[in-house]
Copies of this chain bind each other. A is one copy, B any other.
Amino acid sequence: MEKKNNITPFETDIAKWYSDLVLQSDLISYAPVKGTMFFKPYGFKVWTLIKEQMTTEFIKHNVEEVQFPTLIPESLLQKEKNHVEGFAPELYTVTRTGNKELNENLIIRPTSETLFGEYFREELNSYKQLPMNLNQWVSVMRLENNTRPFLRNSEFLWQEGHTIHATKQEAKDFSYEIIKLYENFAKDALRLPVQMGMKSKNERFAGAEMTFTIETILKDGQALQSGTSHYLRDNFTKAFNVKVLGSDNKMYNPFGTSWGVSTRLIGALIMTHSDNSGLVLPSKVAPYQVVISTVLANKDPMILVKAQELADKLGKDYRVHLDSTDKGPGFKARNWEVKGVPLRIEIGPRDIENNTAVMTYRTSSEKVSLDMEAINIEFIKKALEQNDSEIYSNATKIVENKIIEANSLEEVSKIIQDGNIAKAYWTEDDTTEKQLKDDTGATLRLLNVVATEQASINTSESTQFVALIGRSY
């Protein structure tokens, strides 16, 4: 397939812009089963970088890595009533092996609470074993009809953490620690100014007592749930008969959490930072932080020598790629621009004469000619920091413009219809939440407690809760 190298402008058609960009930047291609993807080397490297850095954070919270099976017996999934009801329409069901019908259907995991329930039941017998903090990086499947790469897939890659604690408070605290971890990771590594808060009862995970969320506000005015952490109380430990001996010598059901982020984070990254020239990547998740390209290398053998020297020098501290192919300089520059490489350095015939190199910043497209000696570890560090801070401040501006305060339900509707996110004092209430959804397609994305109490816009009761309300993926 020939690369087209032309991306539909964002302003013309945002959906087309997104899919052009995802394909042309070599992140993924479409696989034969609808809603599934081939993660190409470049796209899988972004995910691997997320995975490695996040795992380092998990270890600080004494989380251990495991891997559990793909299939769940149907009867096991049915043990927690709310849970199975939440997932029933989306389940990929194995009914046969070879030509033999199974006695019991097997479900491809939509999430693994039930398997972890079974595991904890077998492993745990005393509060002294707690907390038990486990995590796995796997794929899960949930049928989606309107699929979009990264944003809505029928199969996606994710991590799912599952923990058991001796007390309610410890479990609640842990679920909060994890959402803070997600928030910090999103802001620091992905440069996403995410919004963090609690889910309303209607928006909670099936089987959870409390759900924390981080939401990315996208430039199309929709909110993208980008990570959740659930306090499960003893709902799953009861359903799965997980019991431990307490310090008071009595058996009881301990308290659980579960939490996950998925390849959707890459969708959030693309939607937030990219432009009409392609991907824009923060340095911590860029497969290549610096690409050094030779220009007309056949004119002077020193071009490749100098390029290789520079690659070796910077390669000690950074992910550096040397592009010494004989393609034209325009083609090469365009290729690495679409892929969102933060810093591109070109070395051509004139640079050899002058002992210089030309560096282009992906964010501003600014080109600077630099003395070769000036391009050192410290210089690249500052240039990448500039890349990352520009990305973050641009993203913050978008979000600040998109979130608009509302003082009535009418104002909320207007804000939503204008493609924005409303922020308003809110009391949890099924009727108004449902009406809002019917009228505008919007839902409560999250709730936060604020210092000052005020009358809610939906029931007029006095409340300390402020909601973000918007359409979502």
Assess whether A92 is in contact with B97, with CB atoms less than 8 Å apart.
yes
Give the docked Cα–Cα distance between A194 and B406 (Å): 71
Assess whether A37 is in contact with B69, with CB atoms less than 8 Å apart.
yes
**Which residues on the B side are within 8 Å of A93 (C-beta)?**
94-97
The smallest beta-carbon distance between A251 and chain B, in angstroms, is 14
Give the docked Cα–Cα distance between A124 and B208 (Å): 47
Main secondary structure of the interface of A (DSSP, over half): mixed
Closest partner residue, chain B, to A76 (CB atom): B32
Assess whether A66 is in contact with B94, with CB atoms less than 8 Å apart.
no
Give the docked Cα–Cα distance between A44 and B135 (Å): 11
Assess whether B118 is in contact with A71, with CB atoms less than 8 Å apart.
no
Q: From residue 54 to 105 of chain A, which have CB atoms closer than 8 A to chain B?
A: 64-73, 76, 88-99, 105
The smallest beta-carbon distance between A75 and chain B, in angstroms, is 9
Closest partner residue, chain B, to A116 (CB atom): B38
Give the docked Cα–Cα distance between A68 and B119 (Å): 28
**Which residues on the B side are within 8 Å of A94 (C-beta)?**
92-95, 108
A195 within 8 A of B: no
A40 within 8 A of B: yes
Q: How many copies are assembled?
A: 2
Assess whether B97 is in contact with A68, with CB atoms less than 8 Å apart.
no
Which residue of B71, B90, B95 is within 8 Å of A33 (Cβ)? B71
The smallest beta-carbon distance between A407 and chain B, in angstroms, is 42
Closest partner residue, chain B, to A153 (CB atom): B69
Assess whether A122 is in contact with B67, with CB atoms less than 8 Å apart.
no
Assess whether B123 is in contact with A29, with CB atoms less than 8 Å apart.
yes
The smallest beta-carbon distance between A453 and chain B, in angstroms, is 44
Closest partner residue, chain B, to A65 (CB atom): B44
A19 within 8 A of B: no
Q: Mark A1-22, 1 if CB is under 8 A from B, else 0.
A: 1100000000000000000000
Contact A68 to B90, CB < 8 A, known contacts A29-B119, A33-B106: no
**Which residues on the B side are within 8 Å of A64 (C-beta)?**
41
Assess whether A122 is in contact with B29, with CB atoms less than 8 Å apart.
yes
Give the docked Cα–Cα distance between A99 and B105 (Å): 12
A389 within 8 A of B: no
Assess whether B95 is in contact with A89, with CB atoms less than 8 Å apart.
no
A48 within 8 A of B: yes
Which residue of B33, B40, B125, B139 is within 8 Å of A66 (Cβ)? B40
Give the docked Cα–Cα distance between A32 and B47 (Å): 30
**Which residues on the B side are within 8 Å of A123 (C-beta)?**
1, 29
**Which residues on the B side are within 8 Å of A90 (C-beta)?**
97-98
Give the docked Cα–Cα distance between A119 and B65 (Å): 31
**Which residues on the B side are within 8 Å of A48 (C-beta)?**
65
Assess whether B67 is in contact with A31, with CB atoms less than 8 Å apart.
no
A39 within 8 A of B: yes
Give the docked Cα–Cα distance between A245 and B36 (Å): 29
Contact A98 to B108, CB < 8 A, known contacts A65-B48, A70-B139, A122-B1: no
Besides A41-B66, A70-B70, A71-B155, 9 more A-B contacts (Cβ < 8 Å) are: A29-B119, A31-B68, A70-B108, A89-B99, A92-B106, A93-B97, A94-B95, A98-B143, A108-B108
The 3 closest A-B pairs by CB, nearest first: A36-B69, A41-B64, A89-B98
